[in-house]
Amino acid sequence: MLRVGQVMSRLSICLYKYHTIGDAMTIMMEKEVAGLPFLNEQGYLLGMVTKNQILEKGIENYVAENKAADYLTNRFLPLNEETSLEDVWNLPFDIYPVLNNLEEIIGVVSKYSLLQAYFQEVRSRSQELEAVFNSAHNGILSINKQGIITSLNPAAEKPTRTTKEEAVGRFLNDVIIPTGLLEVVRNGIPEYGAKFQVGRRLYISNRTPILKDGEVVGAVGVFQDVSEIEKVLQELQSVKQLNEELQTIISSSYDGLIICDGQGDILRCNPAVGRILEASWEELVGRPFKELVDKGIFQKNIIHLVKKQGGFVSILERPFAKHSLVITGNPVFSEEGEIVKIVINIRDMSELEFLREALEESKQLSEKYQSQIAQMRNHQEAGAELRSCSVIMNNVLDLAFRVSQVDSPVVLVGEQGVGKEEIAKSIHIQSKRSKGPFYKINCSSLPENLLEIELFGQEISNSRNIAKPGVLELANHGSVYLEDIDKMPLNIQGRLVRVLRDKTLQETDEKAAISIDTRILAGTNRPLKELVEKERFHSDLFYTLNIVPIKVPALRERKEDLIPLVLFNLEKNNKRHGFEKIFSPEAVQLLLDYPWLGNIREMANLIERLVVTSKEKVISGREVDGVLYEMEQTPLKTITVTGVVPLKEAIDDLEQQLVTLAMKLHGTTVKAAEALGVNQSTVVRKLQKSKHNTGG
């Protein structure tokens, strides 16, 4: 705002009592002012001498020599040069002396000058305001007390969907959708931040009452298009959310994360870094990554490597004995292709290694359990025909399972009918050879030459030269059960040793060797070692075969198996012959008391006979007794001579058979001794010998 000092006419002369009115007129004309201040000798302002005053006295009375003091008017008011025009433009006098801050007169100013300057000032201010009003980005609309639109700037035209020309002078509600401006006029209460939508644009408006002398004379609404801001706000919101999410991810990452700037200074890192490096992770922020290398926490400076490589780098570090870390560095490039950030990921592999070990352990455990389950299943499957509940027999079956998992030969030692062949079959079935063939050869029932052909095959020399393969070849990738191997002639034993040692079968010199991959399972009633000692068994064959000897106990050594075996055989025969027979309690008791020297085979035969021959559903004790009696009349074994054996041995064999038969027929050693015509002690001794021979 202009000040009085800027509008006044500067004066270097004032009037004193010695000035005439002519002097005053001359100075006024010269200085182009309408009045002059009049001072006393002390320089004190006494009044003003003005043109109007002179004219008011009448031009006819004007005498130039008259004293200026006679025209002095005291209707004056001194103004300070600093006073704002706004404060003085309306004062009553025509001309004013102007003082500086030292109360010295420095000039005069007329009311006209003040008015003119003030008007100019107000006009230019109003033009400025109008320009602002028109160019304002915000829409501005004002109404008077009656609700008539008094102004509307171009920015308001769009949201109000009208034009200044259409709107100004009209009632607000006739022109635009009511926005609450009338309400503001009515109650004089401003309203800020109200949102409203026009089309797809969103506006925010502030409505304020226009007050004049404390009274509401209108209202002005200023509205701003905030669609863009809103959009930016929303984007900002989602960026903020994203940032928070990223922050959460970084903080909760189990891997350590270090973000460095292009110079390698740490900008950010997560708590996992602290956990892995056993350091305060917050303190790392702002420090150069190189410090970690200098302190020996890392051996290599990955920042350096990433920069050198210009891309992804992964290295292995072992900062502490218990930690092994995989550190990867990933550069982030600017548009100009410069590395602006490097993101370092630190993975503590010791945890993974620990987990891998734990996994390995549980894998092994699982394999063990699987093998145990398989063992149990195999026991069930392979033992479908093998009934056992005795500890001694279960141990045998367990050993059989274990040897089935390896590929070594097996020798099964036990009395006749104890289940050697059955166990041999189960070993084959449970072994990895189960898909291959299983052959059985009885070494005692065939003459030597036939046995040899059966085993090793034969070259038939006729026109077509057809060969008959032996079971050792036929059972390739499978197993051969050599029953009564103890009875195998020595020659054949020798040839068998060679075949097993060479793993080949050479029929003739001209013919190519046939490779043999057959597992040998052998059964014997007598311990082979004893025969080796007697040179009745080839020691090489013994050592080749006897890698895992399994002793199968006689039935009398496992009485717990009697009932399951009786029931098994009963059920089997009922099924086979379509009966539903059962044993009476007496019958069962008789079966349990029977010595079963012929073991399970004897029992199986007897029960089949009882099931087939008994007339009633319930097989009585009497019927059992009858069949047992008949069986006892039939010798178990006839004495046959299949080859020349040392006499002493033959006698031993015969003795044993006789004692066994006598026991079978008479049940007690006393009665058996009576029948054999020897002392009871002899029978006991022979029985013990027999037991010892069969390994019992």
Distance between CA atoms of residues 184 and 192, nearest Å: 11
* HEC assignment per residue over 243-270: HHHHHHHHHHCCCEEEEEECCCEEEEEC
Quote the least distance from Cβ 646 to ligand ATP, whole Å. Answer: 23
Quote the least distance from Cβ 525 to ligand ATP, whole Å. Answer: 6
Q: Which two tokens stand for residue 581?
A: 């027979």
The owner of tokens 């891997």 is 255
Quote the least distance from Cβ 576 to ligand ATP, whole Å. Answer: 12
- In a 3-state reduction of DSSP, which class is residue 202? strand
Quote the least distance from Cβ 482 to ligand ATP, whole Å. Answer: 11
Looking at the DSSP bridge assignments, the partners of residue 269 are 258
CA angle 401, 402, 408 (to 5 degrees): 105
Quote the least distance from Cβ 458 to ligand ATP, whole Å. Answer: 26
Residue whose CB is less far from ligand ATP, 602 or 623: 602
Number of other residues whose CB lies within 10 A of the CB of residue 524: 26
Quote the least distance from Cβ 385 to ligand ATP, whole Å. Answer: 5
Residue whose CB is less far from ligand ATP, 313 or 413: 413
Quote the least distance from Cβ 626 to ligand ATP, whole Å. Answer: 23
Helices of type H across 253-348: 271-277, 281-284, 290-294, 302-309
Residue whose CB is less far from ligand ATP, 481 or 542: 481
Please state, in angstroms and as integers, the Cα–Cα distance from residue 681 to each residue in 62, 673, 684, following that order. Answer: 191, 8, 5
Distance between CA atoms of residues 478 and 428, nearest Å: 8
Contact residues: ligand ATP, CB under 6 A: 385-388, 414, 416-422, 483, 523, 565, 568, 600-601, 604
Q: Which residues does 611 contact at the CB level (< 8 Å), separation at least 6?
A: 570, 573, 574, 577, 579, 581, 619
Quote the least distance from Cβ 378 to ligand ATP, whole Å. Answer: 15
Quote the least distance from Cβ 360 to ligand ATP, whole Å. Answer: 39
Quote the least distance from Cβ 597 to ligand ATP, whole Å. Answer: 12
Closest CA to 49 of 24, 20, 17: 24
CA dihedral defined by 460, 461, 465, 467, rounded to 10 degrees?
Answer: 20
Residue whose CB is less far from ligand ATP, 135 or 445: 445
Looking at the DSSP bridge assignments, the partners of residue 438 are 479
* Closest residue to ligand ATP in the complex (CB): 419
Residue whose CB is less far from ligand ATP, 36 or 423: 423
Residue whose CB is less far from ligand ATP, 441 or 505: 441
DSSP string, 520-552: EEEEESS-HHHHHHTTSS-HHHHHHHTTEEEEP
Residue whose CB is less far from ligand ATP, 386 or 475: 386
Looking at the DSSP bridge assignments, the partners of residue 266 are 260
- In a 3-state reduction of DSSP, which class is residue 342? strand
Q: Are the CB atoms for 258 and 344 separated by under 8 Å?
A: yes
Residue whose CB is less far from ligand ATP, 422 or 571: 422
Residue whose CB is less far from ligand ATP, 551 or 601: 601
Residue whose CB is less far from ligand ATP, 284 or 555: 555
Quote the least distance from Cβ 491 to ligand ATP, whole Å. Answer: 23
Would strands 325-333 and 313-317 be described as parallel, antiparallel, or unpaired?
antiparallel
Residue whose CB is less far from ligand ATP, 5 or 523: 523
Residue whose CB is less far from ligand ATP, 345 or 573: 573
Residue whose CB is less far from ligand ATP, 208 or 426: 426
Quote the least distance from Cβ 489 to ligand ATP, whole Å. Answer: 18
CA dihedral defined by 511, 512, 515, 518, rounded to 10 degrees?
Answer: -10
- In a 3-state reduction of DSSP, which class is residue 498? helix
Q: Are the CB atoms for 150 and 217 separated by under 8 Å?
A: no
Residue whose CB is less far from ligand ATP, 51 or 487: 487
Q: Are the CB atoms for 261 and 267 separated by under 8 Å?
A: yes
Distance between CA atoms of residues 39 and 46, nearest Å: 5
Distance between CA atoms of residues 226 and 231, nearest Å: 8
Quote the least distance from Cβ 519 to ligand ATP, whole Å. Answer: 17
Residue whose CB is less far from ligand ATP, 346 or 600: 600
Q: Are the CB atoms for 442 and 541 separated by under 8 Å?
A: no
Distance between CA atoms of residues 653 and 643, nearest Å: 14
Q: Which two tokens stand for residue 674?
A: 């009576």
Number of other residues whose CB lies within 10 A of the CB of residue 612: 12
Q: Where are the beta strands (DSSP E) in 608-696?
A: 618-619
Quote the least distance from Cβ 442 to ligand ATP, whole Å. Answer: 8
Quote the least distance from Cβ 424 to ligand ATP, whole Å. Answer: 8
Q: Which two tokens stand for residue 45?
A: 């302002």
The enclosing H or E element of 406 equals none
Distance between CA atoms of residues 591 and 576, nearest Å: 21
